[in-house]
Chain A
């Protein structure tokens, strides 16, 4: 009898011990799952930053662009195939999901999903002027890592853990709704801003004075997304043009529709505010940027030199790349002038199988006028370094590739030098001319980017910023880095925020 009683008591003690041990094991797996979930969320952030930094159709190819007024609390389930092609615009976010395996005491896989938006998506969108720093767009990344917690849906016996590790046992604590297996989910929010902005990360960077006509518009697009001639057209309009005014003096936008933002600084007392900006997406101050001197032509290379002047280009009007995939260096001592349609300048690619480059250094002026024109083959990227005034037009410069990044003109003339872009056709290219006065007239549009001291857009001409100019290959980067890192570990139902 005594034996039976003793054995019974011991059995009960063992059973209790096993039960408590089981609870401890449960608590351990929940702890491990919770810690692993952060790895998933951080991996999702890495994916987002990689997509923002490289920003091409390949890196965005696994993402969805979803138009919505608010960021999702639960994992979205978009239909169809991934359709994102670039950074998210106003009113939508990009979404990506993936999972990876791991080994540990908890689950064997981590699921992650992430959204990227420019701050315009709710439930609390960024107040005016939006998530913009010094005229450059910042992005919000929200990443969630989810790890299953093996074991029964049982609250941890370590009561102090329950305030920290908010497990979803039967209901998803982040988005509501029943779940079939317990899981740990952690969410982090990261704000990233451009660290080393590309040379042409803004559409217009103006030193002192911007004059617009009011009859044209200013907007943005991505030439890589436009099929065929890669030229701007209304269906491809985007609202990401940024206009930066370093030290505004008397800018007047005349109520021009600007699909983007204007950021300005002014050293005057009181500060000079740009006029007639009622149709600008957002206006903010200060700008914080500056205009660096134009780069100088490369040295340590061998230039093929010609004597300039006259009305016709030298070398019978032919500059060609001699080798497949190579770079040709040409120096024109004096003015490079093309004014006769009978003697155009033809920039010739080698065979067109690979991208080629040409550097043209003009010590004097670059001028196309009258019926003269420059024809640039589609597989040659041309960079001009011009020592004096620049006079061109959309008709007289035929950029056959259609990409602004394929024609870059650096003006080295300094103060009081001039750039005149006229004509009724669209000029496609990027101009970096610190100290220059740039005039766009004649009704033809300008597609690309401009850096200058003053810019005047008249005659109904519109300005279209090609966002593909914001790349590392053009003197800068466009790399993004953290400006803020925050983990949302709140549980409002239990009165826990921080």
Chain B
């Protein structure tokens, strides 16, 4: 009996398959391992970038507002609504808040007002009104409030009398209540966004020491 043979049918031998699978596995393992490592590295860098952005933003906001403030106040308490009017109520167990008073540079339409000297030779804009800017921690958010209303601004609404979070992942906010006639010193501590097995990193503290240019100029 003749056993038919299939001419032209070529295949890998078992040994060749095993060797190729083994090599491929090693290569893929290396690629996957590298990919995972790159991903972790990328996540760490991304977290660093976000954290640095938060820190710079907080520093720049505080510096900008402190420079143009006429007075600075540090107090514990809260903005409280009484009869439809928001006002500051001190409370030793309340939230530490940095309250800056700025001249009312803008009119109701957002246009710059004209500078002039009052009857007592004090420089003012328009009729001499003021606006409050407050900084405080709310949960893990760092809040900047324009005006006296602590309610968070609605999406798309004007930031005229409400608050917004300017940074997240905040652990603490402290203000040194010394020499507030010329300098504001404060620090904000951010929690780490990327953690590893190293227990040494507990957070990053950003210090801001800003000269009250506008306040000193008016003294």
Contact A486 B158 (CB under 8 A): no
B218 located at the interface, meaning its Cβ lies under 8 Å from any Cβ of chain A in the complex = yes
Size bracket, chain B contacts: 35 or more
A497, CB-defined interface residue at 8 Å: yes
Q: A17-B38, A482-B213, A495-B159 are in contact. Are A160 and B116 (CB under 8 A)?
A: no
**Per-residue interface assignment for chain A, residues 471 to 498, with 1 indicating a CB less than 8 Å from any chain B CB and 0 otherwise:** 0000000000111111111101011111
Collect the chain B residues with CB atoms within 8 Å of residue A49's CB: none
A45 to chain B, nearest CB (A): 11
Binds A, one of B11-19, B54-62, B171-179: B54-62
A11 nearest in chain B by CB position? B35
Question: 1/0 contact trace for A9-30 toward B, CB 8 Å?
Answer: 0100110010011001001100
B38 and A14 contacting across the interface, CB-CB below 8 Å: yes
Contact yes or no, B121 A286, CB < 8 A: yes
Q: Let me know if A212 is at the binding interface, CB within 8 A.
A: no
Task: Judge if A180 is at the interface, Cβ distance under 8 Å.
Answer: no
Choose from B146, B166, B214 the contact partner of A498 (Cβ within 8 Å): B146
Give B68 Cβ to nearest chain A Cβ, in Å: 5
Residues in A neighbouring B111, C-beta threshold 8 A: 123-124, 492
Asked whether, in the complex, the Cβ of A127 is within 8 Å of the Cβ of B116, the reply is yes
Report if B167 contacts A (CB, 8 A): yes
Contact status A495-B217, CB under 8 Å: no
Cβ–Cβ contact B105 & A488, under 8 A: yes
A463 to B218 CA separation, bound complex (whole angstroms): 34
Kindly state whether residue B164 has any CB partner on chain A within 8 Å. yes
Given the interface pairs A3-B28, A126-B116, A131-B115, the reply to whether A487 lies near B110 with Cβ below 8 Å is no
Q: Which residues of A contact B102 (CB under 8 A)?
A: 486, 498
Contact A481 B217 (CB under 8 A): yes
**Nearest Cβ on chain B to A7's Cβ, whole angstroms:** 7
A286-B109 Cα distance, complex, nearest whole Å: 32
Is A161's CB under 8 angstroms from B45's CB? Answer: no
Within 8 Å CB of B68, what residues of A?
485-487
Contacting pair B115 A484 (CB below 8 A): yes
Chain A nearest CB, measured from B117 CB (Å): 5
- Report if A342 contacts B (CB, 8 A): no
Q: Which residues of B contact A496 (CB under 8 A)?
A: 158-159
Q: Do A497 and B28 touch (CB < 8 A)?
A: no
A226 at interface (Cβ–Cβ under 8 A)?
A: no
| B77 within 8 A of partner (CB) | no
CB within 8 Å of A: which B142-162 residues: 146, 157-160
CA A3 to CA B28, docked complex, whole Å? 7
From B24, B38, B131, A3 is in contact (CB under 8 Å) with B24
Check B114–A161 contact: CB distance below 8 A. Answer: no
Bound Cα distance A124, B123 (Å): 16
In the assembled complex, A288 has its CB within 8 A of some CB on chain B: yes
Q: Encode contact with A along B94-127: 1 for CB under 8 Å, 0 otherwise.
A: 0000000011011001111111110101010000
Q: Is A158 an interface residue (CB 8 A)?
A: yes
Q: Which residues of A lie under 8 Å from residue B24 when comparing CB positions? A: 3
Please, which residues of chain A bring their CB within 8 A of the CB of B131?
Answer: 498
- Within 8 Å of chain A (Cβ to Cβ): is B42? yes
Q: Which A residues lie within 8 Å of B57 (CB)?
A: 158, 160-161, 164
B213 touches A497 (CB 8 A): no
B115–A191 CB distance below 8 A: yes
Cα-based distance from A205 to B131 in the complex (angstroms): 38
B22 at the interface (CB under 8 A from A): no
Q: How far is the CA of A311 from the CA of B50 in the complex (A)?
A: 90
Chain A residue nearest in CB terms to B24: A3
A7 and B217 form a contact (CB under 8 A): no
Which of A20, A28, A482, A497 touches B106 (beta carbons < 8 Å)?
Answer: A497
List residues of chain B with CB within 8 A of the CB of A165. Answer: 60
Whether A164 lies near B61 (C-beta < 8 A) is yes
B53 is contacted by which of A124, A125, A161, A498 (Cβ under 8 Å)? A161
8 A-B pairs with C-beta separation under 8 A: A20-B46, A119-B114, A483-B218, A484-B123, A485-B213, A489-B64, A496-B158, A498-B146
Question: A interface vs B, CB < 8 Å?
Answer: 2-3, 6-7, 10, 13-14, 17, 20-21, 24, 27-28, 31, 34-35, 119, 123-127, 130-134, 138, 140, 158, 160-161, 163-165, 189, 191, 193, 285-286, 288, 481-490, 492, 494-498
Q: Would you list the 5 A-B pairs with minimal beta carbon distance, nearest first?
A: A495-B158, A482-B217, A492-B110, A124-B114, A485-B213
Beyond A492-B111, A497-B106, 7 additional pairs, beta carbon < 8 A: A126-B116, A140-B115, A161-B53, A163-B166, A164-B61, A487-B68, A495-B158
